[in-house]
Chain A
């Protein structure tokens, strides 16, 4: 990656702190010269993968400087300065795939006027508030620009400033602040590249409630009520449930009697989540590693997308040892710290929120119903035929591009090229004269799955190149793959003089499913990398699937 760090102070320590992380080791990180803020922003002439902008306000907004030295300033001038600054920062977004701007924060504890520090036209705290608001509002319309909330860096450290280093080397912050900021940037990149967690597996006894339900009974567990420990467990449950609102699933793995445990979840009056919020569970006396592996297979998520919470250090060690890809946070002994721990974890950060995310638990549960129903049929084909599946085909557009960016970045298994693109990169790609993006939404008798597929096509001479062939794991194995291939062929027939369709399979550790599909499809290959279908592109539409086109 090409990364540029732009600041009005010496930002070299941030570069060094970033290089500690494996993710940035091979990156080319450039630090701007300090003191030439506006010039640096204007002079960026080569597109970067990532630009980080971190300014201290006294050097960019003159009115702020006046304010901290108790000089009066005209509101009109402050507004003008703020607008110039915000516009320039926003324009920088076009020069990078991702722009991260550190929010302004009163880290110096500028106490200038006391009670008037938040007063409009006077106080420095008010100015910072206004600048952040303007930046945030501006970024609402820029898909690749994000405001990094720096207040958490400052509140998580004992030492914010390093005045001596500031005077000696123009480094105003302590080492801890640079560590925190590097961690935040690393997490932002992890999130944007689609490596956030997707499934949280929880234990029950002493993890989401106090005590052992099998011994104490439903009335004997500590949850809510008037005990502070019970309240702490209830808050932890609230935090866990809140994850489902951003598309992260909950599952249970617990050594317990299943009937008693489920009864506790369903009937305890203080339970925050119900069994309907749980995508899958294994409540038995089996090895937890075996249970986790079963759930991962059932929900169809990679082990590196899973977080496991268990109060028992032996179970944690067992899972860590057997399944190192799974993230197992060290739960403190004190349950009053559980919620805080969950809040502090960065692995649940998101960079976009779609309707598909918000309805994911329902969608997964519907999927399990589909699967359960499939066991009643003699063949998979019989089951597929009865699902009443309908594919809605729509061109890639402003309304669905956010979800398609997610699919590009988060889908691992059924992904032809694992081409990772930011939204702005996808927009740029779409502007290419010969490029077409097609989205696939699916609904059936169990419900609406949302946009689950994406096809990227490029016309090049006499061939059509399939740049992206992506299907969410939730929709795999239902003939939707074949329907997508039919759609590709149908599209190809509409373009004059096309002789063949070409798909290049780029192997990763995770995308064997698409290789298997290609090998069993109408594509021909000699090297298991380049797959071709020749004119007249004879691929039949799967009989039981209805395909409708949605026009923009």
Chain B
């Protein structure tokens, strides 16, 4: 059973990568409550896509899975899956365990 903390740790790794390839103004804090998408999020569309594709690649690499995390429909529907580190990790955990 994959733990939520393991997923969050991978998201934090992607935050590190994001911060190393973006200016300080666009940096993300490694915190469970950090907003990613939506009106409170600081990422623009390219930043958002890059972030989610990176998370997807790292999660599948870490757990030997092939789950889809970046989903255009979810992005358009904006139901909150990508809103924060918390909601994203919950969504990933659900997909991993389904």
User: Which residues of A are interface residues toward B (Cβ below 8 A)?
Assistant: 10, 12-13, 16-17, 19-20, 25, 162, 164-165, 168-169, 171, 175, 178-179, 182
Within 8 A of A (CB), among B49-95: 49-50, 53-54, 56-57, 70, 72
B23 contact from A19, A164, A168, A171, Cβ within 8 A: A19
Do A165 and B53 touch (CB < 8 A)?
A: yes
Chain A to chain B contacts (Cβ below 8 Å), 27 pairs: A10-B46, A13-B21, A13-B50, A16-B21, A16-B22, A16-B23, A16-B26, A17-B21, A17-B22, A19-B22, A20-B20, A20-B22, A20-B23, A25-B23, A162-B53, A164-B53, A164-B56, A165-B50, A165-B53, A168-B53, A168-B70, A169-B46, A169-B50, A171-B50, A175-B21, A175-B54, A182-B21
**Nearest chain B CB to A166 CB, angstrom units:** 10
Minimal Cβ-Cβ distance residue in A for B23: A19
B17 within 8 Å of A (CB atoms)? yes
Known interface pairs A168-B53, A175-B54. Does A13 touch B46 (Cβ–Cβ under 8 Å)? yes
Inter-chain CA distance A84–B54, complex, in Å, is 38
Do A12 and B46 touch (CB < 8 A)?
A: yes
Inter-chain CA distance A165–B50, complex, in Å, is 7
Minimal Cβ-Cβ distance residue in A for B21: A17
For B23, what are the chain A residues with a Cβ–Cβ distance below 8 Å? 16, 19-20, 25
Which of B21, B26, B53, B70 is packed against the most chain A CB atoms within 10 Å? Answer: B21
Inter-chain CA distance A10–B45, complex, in Å, is 13
For B50, what are the chain A residues with a Cβ–Cβ distance below 8 Å? 13, 165, 169, 171, 175
**Nearest chain B CB to A167 CB, angstrom units:** 10
For B20, what are the chain A residues with a Cβ–Cβ distance below 8 Å? 20, 179
For B46, what are the chain A residues with a Cβ–Cβ distance below 8 Å? 10, 12-13, 169, 171
For B70, what are the chain A residues with a Cβ–Cβ distance below 8 Å? 164, 168
Inter-chain CA distance A171–B51, complex, in Å, is 13
Inter-chain CA distance A178–B70, complex, in Å, is 21
For B26, what are the chain A residues with a Cβ–Cβ distance below 8 Å? 16
Do B21 and A168 touch (CB < 8 A)?
A: no
For A182, what are the chain B residues with a Cβ–Cβ distance below 8 Å? 21
Which of A17, A20, A25 is packed against the most chain B CB atoms within 10 Å? Answer: A20
Which of A12, A17, A162, A164 is packed against the most chain B CB atoms within 10 Å? Answer: A164
Do B49 and A168 touch (CB < 8 A)?
A: yes
For B57, what are the chain A residues with a Cβ–Cβ distance below 8 Å? 162, 164
For A165, what are the chain B residues with a Cβ–Cβ distance below 8 Å? 49-50, 53
Minimal Cβ-Cβ distance residue in A for B72: A168
**Nearest chain A CB to B97 CB, angstrom units:** 23
For B21, what are the chain A residues with a Cβ–Cβ distance below 8 Å? 13, 16-17, 20, 175, 178-179, 182
Inter-chain CA distance A259–B23, complex, in Å, is 52
Which of A162, A168, A171 is packed against the most chain B CB atoms within 10 Å? Answer: A168
Inter-chain CA distance A425–B46, complex, in Å, is 37
**Nearest chain B CB to A15 CB, angstrom units:** 10
**Nearest chain A CB to B89 CB, angstrom units:** 21
Q: A13-B46, A16-B21, A162-B53 are in contact. List 19 more A-B contacts (CB 8 A).
A: A10-B46, A13-B21, A16-B26, A17-B22, A20-B20, A20-B23, A164-B57, A164-B70, A165-B49, A165-B50, A168-B49, A168-B70, A168-B72, A169-B49, A169-B50, A171-B46, A175-B17, A175-B54, A179-B20
**Nearest chain B CB to A20 CB, angstrom units:** 6
Minimal Cβ-Cβ distance residue in A for B26: A16
For A171, what are the chain B residues with a Cβ–Cβ distance below 8 Å? 46, 50
Which of B23, B57, B70 is packed against the most chain A CB atoms within 10 Å? Answer: B23
For A16, what are the chain B residues with a Cβ–Cβ distance below 8 Å? 21-23, 26, 47
**Nearest chain A CB to B98 CB, angstrom units:** 21
For A168, what are the chain B residues with a Cβ–Cβ distance below 8 Å? 49, 53, 70, 72
For A10, what are the chain B residues with a Cβ–Cβ distance below 8 Å? 46
Inter-chain CA distance A221–B21, complex, in Å, is 45
Inter-chain CA distance A174–B23, complex, in Å, is 18
Inter-chain CA distance A19–B20, complex, in Å, is 10
Query: Which 5 A-B residue pairings sit nearest by Cβ, starting from the closest?
Result: A19-B23, A17-B21, A16-B22, A164-B53, A169-B49
Minimal Cβ-Cβ distance residue in B for A169: B49
Inter-chain CA distance A162–B46, complex, in Å, is 14
**Nearest chain A CB to B84 CB, angstrom units:** 22
